[in-house]
Amino acid sequence: MTVIRLHTCTLRPWRDGDENSLAELASNRKIWDRVRDFFPNPYTLRDATSWIRMNRSYQMPVNLAIEIDGRAVGNVGFTIKEDIYRYNAEIGYWLGEPYWGRGIMSEAVPAMVEYVFHNFQINRLYACVLEGNSASMRVLEGAGFRPEAVMRKAAVKNNRYLDEHIFAMLREEYLARREELSAMARH
């Protein structure tokens, strides 16, 4: 089973029993405002049950729950793209509001980057961040993603057009960074 133990949290597969915590923490307009519209709002127990049912069936999970004190408090995951984009994956994440600002996602995202490049044939990992979400941009920059483009007013949220910021990391950049970090750790 995939379990990644970090300083601030543990990443592990979603499982039965996570429903209440998921529905409670994900049902938050401040989260919904920063993610795609398909993210349920309000996030009901029924939504939580179907998310867990869908995700527990994977041999190699593409979504991992962020666990703190035995409770699932967020998600970090990715979707693999198709056709000529099949070596791309898009990373996505959210964290329950009571846990913001403690450095949790700054640790979870690099761990997910390593998980993706280590276990999947992916050449480019990218993220799409809506205008104004500086915490998410900081998380990505800290993990080694490069700002690649701004898709001007590409998204619509709450009836407002918003710029979408694209951040990406190539496999070769991940490998170089890993090498650099382990050289620093040796000295």
Ligand X SMILES: CC(C)(COP(=O)(O)OP(=O)(O)OC[C@H]1O[C@@H](n2cnc3c(N)ncnc32)[C@H](O)[C@@H]1OP(=O)(O)O)[C@@H](O)C(=O)NCCC(=O)NCCS
Which residues form the interface with ligand X (CB under 6 A)? 31, 34-35, 93-95, 100-106, 127, 129, 133-136, 138-139, 142
Smallest gap from Cβ 32 to ligand X, in A, equals 8
**Residue nearer to ligand X on the CB measure, 121 or 134:** 134
CB of 174 to ligand X, least distance (A): 19
Helices (H), 9-158: 19-26, 29-32, 45-56, 104-119, 134-142
- Least distance in Å: CB of 59 to ligand X? 26
Query: Least CB distance from residue 127 to ligand X, whole Å?
Result: 6
Q: Distance of CA 1 to CAs 4, 56, 58, Å? A: 10, 11, 11
- Nearer residue to ligand X within complex by CB, 79 or 121: 79
Long-range pairs of 50-53 with CB within 8 A, sequence gap ≥ 24: 51/14, 51/22, 52/14, 52/15, 52/16, 52/18, 52/19, 52/22
Q: Which of left, alpha, beta for 48 (phi over 0: left; psi -120 to 50: alpha)?
A: alpha
For the CB of residue 155, give the shortest distance to ligand X in the complex, in Å.
11
What's the DSSP call for residue 170?
E
Helix (H, G, I), strand (E, B) or coil at 44: coil
Taking the least distance from each CB to ligand X, the nearer of 122 and 143 is 143
Of 39 and 120, which has the nearer Cβ to ligand X?
A: 39
Q: 55 or 136, CB closer to ligand X?
A: 136
